[in-house]
Chain A
Amino acid sequence: MHTDRTAVPSLASLLCLYLLMPASVYAQDEIPYSREGADTCIACHDDAETLALFRGKHAVPTDLRGPFGHGQLQCEACHGPGGNHSARIRRGEERPPPAVEFGSHEPTEINVQNDMCLDCHSADVGFGWHGGPHDDNDVACADCHVSHTGGDPVLQTSSQPDVCYNCHKLQRSQTLKAFAHPLIEGKMDCSGCHSPHGDTTELQLVRQTVNDTCYTCHAEKRGPYVWEHEPATEDCGLCHAPHGSNHPGMLTQRAPLLCQSCHSQAGHPSVAHDVGGIASETPSQFLLGQSCMNCHEQVHGSNHPSGSKLMR
């Protein structure tokens, strides 16, 4: 058989070209930008929800850092180049999607979505984001934030918890307990204690430790006292359940059993105070009223010189 030897170098050239071609060419992601920026987009996307963007912080033309600052890329600053999406298409042809679509159910990879946001907001929120629990669990910025609005629900105290409850079901259930922080009343939000963007603090809290966070509102417990109650100085969570509890004071357990889990001194601390002490039987000061705290009320510590038993 006669072989055309001129075809061999041609094929080799193509193979060489393929192997040595920069990856960016193979990626097929060389998407052009639109012709007129936002004016191109608004020609189709003129609905109220989309245009609500212009009531928010992303659409301030005098802020040169923002997408709509003079000279910026407008819609395409976040959604990526929109040339293909906005170009003419043939009849029956499916319109290419935007380069970046936001939301967990969108085809754009979560980390690509988030990188778009972090390109501008890294300093504001990126401190603990990378490697934090939300990043680890592929939470998209758009899962919590709404950009196309004048009032992002997650930034308002009364509506923020509902956004968090989309994922944190266990915590929503706990806030419905009889004794809880006033989240369901809309008077407190999750970010009052937690840093949702991640932080290097303990449990993603707004302060360095659990106790420091609690002291932002409960500074009267801070001490130091003459007589300290050592578990209270170490971790408020040893006795309290901050998301909610069946017990007053959001305690993890009722007194006297809570106290008797650590106190065994001879006498009344080690006595088993059973049902015979309720009001209808032989009313006991160890069960009724405030139980141990009828007398030992200074459980967070006492500054009284005679307060070593936390009674003064």
Chain B
Amino acid sequence: MGLKGEAAIVGVADYKNERKYTGPRHFFTEQFADLTHRALVDAGLNKSDLDGICCTAIREANMFAPATLAEYLGLKVNFAEIVDLGGATPVGMIWRAAAAIEMGICQAVICAIPARPIPSNPIPSPTADDLRFYGSTSANWGSPQAEFDVPYGNVAQNSGYAMIAQRYAALHGYDERALAKIAADQRTNAQANPNAAFYGKPASIDDVLASPVIADPLHILEIVMPCAGGGAVLVVDKALAAKSKNRPAYITGCGERLESKSMTYQDDITRTPVGPASQSAFAMAGKKPADIDVVEPYDCYTITVLLTLEDSGFCAKGEGMKFVNEHDLTYNGDFPVNTHGGQLGAGQAGLAGGMSQVIEGARQIMGKADDRQLTRCDTALVTGTGGIMSEQSAIILEGG
């Protein structure tokens, strides 16, 4: 059961991450078309090869996003999917595309996430903008979060992740330098990625610890920086993979786990859903953690990386801080993690933030990671995290 590894990533595209985007503004339909064009060019394939589309919610349409996008691109597709898993969406898109291809209902699926600002609306809708500061928390009437999270201030992401870190600290101790090292090592990786928001701005462990505490114990440099950007990944069948000009990155394993919306109701907030997701991916691919050449874990916060390394089986529960201290997480190191800088080093372009991890894993396998290219990279584990570690996805990529 599971994926047989017959679908591959053969083309990727991403926009430079920019904290203050000043370029021309385009709608999501337009950005989606541009990202798709770039991914096809990267792969050396044509629009006529495409027969599947996978997207997120778009700003221009509250419903029917796949139809809106497919029509705009002039596509007739056999697979039309929208994924709504927060930061787990990109990884969730890739395995759904691979599964549809393996079922034989389509041959090439574009998975794209625009995340640049759209043109200013001459008829602004105040309600949508007013509620955006609640982040992943829904303040709509009837939503349990509106009633039982919002009045107490446990809104958006910082407080939830901070509480996960606090409970972890109470159970396992807390070496703040180890957590800061995750951010610092990834920032080092970002220095080899000109598209990173923090390119040209290295930060040391001491810099991270000297930055302001936002919600105990999280420093601001342990939290992603929002930015503009966007990313696309082209997933195709074996026949098209053979025609592509890139080394294919086959999707050989996947897993997904969703346990709650608020972290408040998780069984154990220090054991995250990426555990079952990664175990499923490893079992499907017939791999174990030691077989992985590069790990591209979703990294909205440093604690997310720590718990992902533990729960995916790279070290035991409670050993993550020791593991991080004993390994060099940079692209020159013995255990490379988020070689593009991750979202902590490269910035978080909305939902496309998690796509950066998929793209980097594929680029490392394709041998197209420029100055940060690993000398050998045949296997990658990529994870995605939505909400407050409430939903997580994992895929394993293997070079063809």
**A in complex with B:** no
